[in-house]
């Protein structure tokens, strides 16, 4: 589902990255690990089309996103890539349900309210539908981020340190949730993490 080859990226002449090739198939999970400064988040942003590589190819379901124009890349991302970033970037004035609906509206100009409610129920957040994001705990906000990332049934799900701020119990719950949902929606799941707890759950990984 996602394959990268010969990817490199540089912020400036002093900060350059050359990444090893990776592949993650539909319904599978790949961990990207490594100490700070090795480019984990940079690689995730490249896979998500938030950054463009200096060289190399990134294929998602057969499409080389490096060759897409900015406009086509934005549209492709909305349709095919779900992003769970370290900072959720919710719109604080919108309810939990409205934040998730907005993700579907931006992708294809439809509000998938029924689907959004179903996701929230599956994530144990049916009580939070009309709450504002700042009324939720960190763990609950993380689950809302997952719902928002899944609303358009992406082919690729990217998660940046999804358990870093969670205790052991909630970290394990989120890890299981991500794995189960990626299989349910047949999405490739790539997790960037320095959390050693996740290595015990997911066996396929690369270390930068």
The predicted-structure confidence for 68-106, as pLDDT tens digits, reads as follows 999 999 989 988 999 888 777 899 899 999 999 988 888
Cα 140 from Cα 104, distance rounded (Å): 20
Contacts for 77 with CB less than 8 Å, ≥ 6 apart: 48, 49
Distances (CA, A) of 75 to 24, 80, 103, 109, 176: 22, 9, 12, 11, 29
User: How high is the pLDDT of residue 14?
Assistant: 78
User: How high is the pLDDT of residue 123?
Assistant: 82
pTM for the model: 0.86
Q: Interhelix angle for 113-122 vs 138-150, to 10°? A: 140
**pLDDT, averaged across the chain:** 88
Cα 190 from Cα 161, distance rounded (Å): 11
Q: What domain count does the chain have?
A: 1
Domain that holds residue 195: 2-207
* CB 50 within 8 Å of CB 26: no
Burial class (CB in 10 A: 0-12, 13-18, 19+), 35: exposed
Q: Indicate which CATH number applies to the domain containing 18.
A: 3.40.50.300
User: How high is the pLDDT of residue 96?
Assistant: 93
- Which residue is associated with the tokens 């993700």? 103
User: How high is the pLDDT of residue 176?
Assistant: 84
* CB 19 within 8 Å of CB 8: yes
Report which listed range, 92-96, 135-139, 142-146, 170-174, is most confident: 92-96
The predicted-structure confidence for 30-83, as pLDDT tens digits, reads as follows 999 888 888 889 999 999 999 999 999 999 999 999 999 999 999 899 889 998
User: How high is the pLDDT of residue 5?
Assistant: 94
């Amino acid at each position: 589902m996602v394959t990268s080859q010969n990817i490199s990226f540089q912020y400036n002449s002093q900060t350059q990255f050359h990444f090893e090739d990776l592949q993650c198939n539909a319904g599978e999970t790949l961990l990207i690990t490594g100490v700070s400064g090795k480019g984990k988040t940079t690689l995730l942003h490249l896979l998500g089309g938030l950054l463009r590589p200096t060289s190399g190819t990134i294929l998602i379901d057969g499409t080389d996103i490096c060759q897409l124009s900015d406009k086509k890349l934005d549209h492709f991302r909305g349709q095919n890539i779900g992003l769970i970033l370290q900072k959720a970037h919710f719109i604080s004035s919108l309810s939990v349900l409205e934040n998730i609906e907005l993700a579907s509206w931006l992708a294809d100009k439809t509000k998938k309210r029924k689907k959004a409610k179903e996701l929230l129920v599956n994530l144990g957040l049916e009580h939070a539908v009309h709450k504002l994001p700042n009324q939720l705990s960190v763990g609950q906000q993380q689950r809302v981020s997952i719902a928002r990332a899944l609303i358009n049934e992406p082919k690729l799900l990217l998660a940046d340190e999804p358990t870093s701020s969670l205790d052991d119990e909630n970290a394990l719950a989120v890890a299981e949730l991500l794995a189960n949902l990626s299989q349910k929606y047949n999405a490739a799941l790539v997790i960037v993490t320095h959390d050693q707890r996740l290595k015990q759950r997911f066996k396929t990984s690369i270390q930068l």
